[in-house]
Amino acid sequence: MSAEPVAHVHLDPVGGIAGDMFVAALVEARPELEAGLLDQLRRGGLPRGLDIRFARDRRGGLAGLRFVVVAEDPPPSGTLPDILERITRSGLDEPVKRRATAIYRRLGEAEAAVHGVPLEAVHFHEIADWDSYADILAAAFLIEAVGSASWSVGPLPLGSGSVATAHGLLPVPAPATARLLQGLAVVDDGLPGERVTPTGAAILAELAPSRRPPDRPMRLSATGHGLGSRELAGKPNALRVLLLGEVPEVGERRPGREPVAVLRFEVDDQPAEDLALGLDRLRARSDVLDICQWPVVGKAGRLASAVQLLCAPEAVEAVARACLAETTTLGVRIETVERRVLARDTVTVGTRGRLIRVKRARRPDGTISAKAELADLAAFEGDAAFRAQVRRTAEVAALDGPEDRE
């Protein structure tokens, strides 16, 4: 089985966003991920006999998918440390564990801030049920399955009124939800009620989406609609997801010429882990083509990091501002150069039950080279020799044509 690689995901919160809506929308857009998602949930520390399913439904005349989790008994504990321990002890894949833990920590940090308690003392009430736990595990799996795609989200409906909680009536959006949404665009569409749930807000905080899709031409490869549990007046209670891929190369061509902007700077006063986080954020931008980093000796004999970024010339101002925001450098040197590029594409190959992206390039002599994505290979358990065999199988399959290889 093959699937077109996803370069960007745009979330359109027509009715709002909740954890179950996010999961349902992505699964409707990528139905081949449903089996892997349910397998992860079976290994995620959920009780046996839990009713977990996807159901077709309609909201406001729009057909879509609902993610339904029905549990009779509450979980044994709703404290953040206990939930994180449950995730750690589970049989989830390690990348899914890390992503689910990160989402829960964002929730915990927001709750701790608004209630004035230490992080270790946070106790989830309304979002401690098994359905919220399943929503977050499923969302973590889907985010990892999409891979290195960038994300964007349209203006989020604020909602209005109040919501009943263990702390009494709280305004909508709930204080922790509002804290998680800081920096994102919001809109008052005049409809009351809770429109963004805490789990939906925590997932958005983890994704750190931009406000709009990339401004370059892209291919719309799939759409999905995740439906909420209630009806809204005058509009469908749905979260729409748009999966975008790169526009494929047309025909074969020799190495081409194209201009590219080169941005260079050095950093000697930023902690290594903080710089690494900033460069990861720059790397995740859709307008950044590549980033290199290497050690240098700066003024006064201080060890420093030299950084070089490549981007399209039209994006240079935005990327330069991002460099100054994410690092402690005081200036960025910019020049425009010409580069030679090979005709290339990315295909997805099904190998041993998993999807692996493989980059292909056509060399000047007409031969094609293929390289499997290391991030996708890392999901395979086993020794290095096993992963090398998987890599070779995926690369050969990509040269023969993207298809399932067991």
Concatenating the DSSP letter of every residue in 170-226 gives: EESSPHHHHHHTTTS-EE--S--B--B-HHHHHHHHHH--BSS--SS-EEEEEEEEE
pLDDT the model gives residue 362: 84
pLDDT the model gives residue 63: 96
Kindly give the residue spans of alpha helices, DSSP state H, lying in 222-307.
Answer: 272-284
pLDDT the model gives residue 376: 80
Residue among 235, 192, 191, 239 nearest 61 (CA): 235
pLDDT the model gives residue 389: 80
pLDDT the model gives residue 237: 97
Residue among 181, 126, 127 nearest 158 (CA): 181
Domain assignments of the chain as residue spans, ordered by start: 8-246, 256-341, 344-400
Q: Please, what are the averages of pLDDT over each run of 10 residues along the chain (406 residues)?
A: 78 97 98 95 90 95 94 79 93 96 94 87 75 95 92 94 70 90 94 94 95 87 95 94 80 64 95 95 93 91 94 92 96 90 82 81 84 81 75 77 47
- For 256-341, CATH gives 3.30.70.1380
pLDDT the model gives residue 346: 86
pLDDT the model gives residue 28: 97
Q: Terminal CA-to-CA distance of the chain, rounded, Å? A: 10
pLDDT the model gives residue 406: 38
Amino acid 245 reads G
Give 259: exposed, middle or buried? Use CB within 10 Å, 0-12, 13-18, 19+: exposed
- Helix (H) or strand (E) segment spanning residue 243: strand 238-246
Q: Kindly list the strands in the beta sheet with 344-351, ordered across the sheet, starting from the edge strand earlier in the chain.
A: 344-351, 354-362, 368-372
**How do residues 218-276 score in pLDDT, each as one tens digit?**
899 999 999 999 999 999 999 999 999 987 654 444 467 788 999 999 999 999 999 99
Q: Where are the strands (E) in 33-184, listed by range?
A: 51-59, 62-70, 150-153, 156-157, 162-165, 168-171
Q: What is the mean pLDDT of the chain?
A: 88
* Residues across the chain: 406
- Helix (H) or strand (E) segment spanning residue 262: strand 256-267
pLDDT the model gives residue 167: 60
pLDDT the model gives residue 251: 42
Q: What values do phi and psi take at 310, rounded to 5?
A: -115, 140
Q: Give the three-state DSSP class for 276.
A: helix
Say what the pTM is.
0.63
CA–CA dist 275, 284 (Å, integer)? 14
**How do residues 16-65 score in pLDDT, each as one tens digit?**
999 999 999 999 999 999 999 999 999 999 988 889 999 999 999 899 99
